[in-house]
């Protein structure tokens, strides 16, 4: 497993880099997790409907090839992209979704939050508000895209969309529930990475 910590990134170059890797698969390539945050962007999944973008304003909208509807990415949100050889690891899409949700809920539990999942609305919720989202695609036996977890960010752009296609869906973040926000994104990134590795059956990474 290779873990790449990429900092704050524009969306398009990262998306195109993921697509290149899965469109040019190499069986012996290591699985990878990319940890980063994005500059402000709305991403519209393959099932997305334009009616769920209420007011994009100056924030770009990128139509992409993951599943799901529209979501927002911005600074202070932790994004983890999973480039996993699911064929080699004998992982189905449902298995991968379940382990991602488990990694997110166990990460939040380590910071004192009790989070839940919903069978018909993938993601993670705290007090009926969405705190983590996910969207995936499988191509050539590899997964790409992944998850986003709201840590310490400006949530106001979520008011300009119906997050994940749900009207009036409340959205929250970890910093609303804990006192210390110092280096919070880095701390959450480390915990989430370890939880993902654990769920994927890895004990170490390079």
Q: Is the predicted pLDDT of residue 84 greater than 70, yes or no? A: yes
Domain borders along the chain are: 2-200
CA distances in angstroms from 116 to 20, 44, 78, 112, 132, listed in the order given = 34, 24, 18, 13, 10
Compute the average pLDDT of residues 42-49.
85
Q: How confident is the model at residue 60 (pLDDT cuts 50, 70, 90)?
A: very high
Question: What number is the average pLDDT over the span 146-173?
Answer: 91
Q: CATH number for the 2-200 domain, one of 3.30.930.10, 3.30.360.10, 3.40.50.300, 3.90.1200.10?
A: 3.30.930.10
Distance (Å, whole) CA 177 – CA 174: 6
Reading the block at residue 8, the tokens are 């704050």
Calculate mean pLDDT across residues 75-88: 97
Residue 206 is predicted with a pLDDT of: 56
| Alpha carbon distance 84, 27 (integer Å) | 11
Average pLDDT, integer, range 1-18: 97
Q: What average pLDDT does the structure give for the chain?
A: 93
Q: What is the pLDDT of residue 180?
A: 78
Can you list the pairs that 14-17 forms with residues at least 24 positions away whose Cβ atoms lie under 8 Å?
14/38, 14/81, 15/62, 15/64
Question: Is 193 tagged catalytic?
Answer: no
Whether pLDDT at 204 is above 70 = no
The first and second tokens of residue 142, run together, are 């590899």
Q: Are strands 61-63 and 70-73 parallel, antiparallel or unpaired?
A: unpaired
Retrieve residue 100's tokens.
């991602």
Residue 163 has pLDDT above 60, yes or no: yes
* Mean predicted confidence (pLDDT) in 1-19: 97
> Is residue 205 over pLDDT 80?
no
- Single out the catalytic residue among 33, 164, 191, 192: 164
What tens digit of pLDDT does each residue of 22-36 get?
A: 999 887 899 999 999
**Burial profile 152-165: b = 16 or more Cβ within 10 angstroms, e = fewer:** bbebebbebbbbbb
Strand boundaries in 120-186, DSSP class E: 124-126, 129-139, 142-150
The pLDDT-based confidence of 144 (bands split at 50, 70, 90) is: very high
Residue 49 has pLDDT above 80, yes or no: no
For every residue of 88-136, DSSP letters joined together read HHT--HHHHHHHHHHHHHHHHHHTT---B--TTS-SEEETTEEEEEEEE
pLDDT single digits (tens) 95-115: 999 999 999 999 999 999 999
Report the distance separating Cα 78 and Cα 74, nearest Å: 9
Residues 84-102 have a mean pLDDT of 95
Q: What is the pLDDT of residue 22?
A: 95
DSSP 22: H
């Amino acid at each position: 497993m290779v873990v790449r910590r990429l900092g704050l990134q524009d969306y398009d170059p990262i998306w195109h880099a993921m697509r290149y890797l899965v469109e040019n698969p190499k069986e012996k390539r290591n699985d990878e997790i990319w940890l980063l945050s994005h500059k402000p962007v709305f991403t519209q999944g393959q099932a997305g409907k334009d009616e769920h973008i209420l007011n994009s304003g100056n924030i770009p909208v990128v139509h992409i090839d993951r599943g799901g509807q529209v979501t927002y990415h911005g600074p202070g949100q932790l994004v983890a992209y999973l480039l996993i050889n699911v064929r080699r690891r004998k992982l189905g899409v449902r298995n991968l979704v379940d382990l991602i949700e488990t990694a997110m809920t166990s990460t939040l539990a380590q910071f004192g939050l009790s989070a839940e999942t919903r069978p018909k609305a993938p993601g993670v919720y705290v007090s009926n508000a969405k705190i983590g989202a996910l969207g995936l695609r499988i191509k050539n036996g590899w997964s790409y895209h992944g998850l986003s977890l709201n840590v310490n960010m400006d949530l106001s752009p979520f008011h300009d969309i119906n997050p994940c296609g749900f009207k009036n869906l409340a959205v929250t973040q970890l910093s609303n529930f804990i006192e210390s926000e110092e280096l919070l994104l880095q701390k959450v990134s480390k915990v989430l990475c370890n939880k993902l590795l654990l769920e994927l059956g890895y004990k170490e990474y390079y």
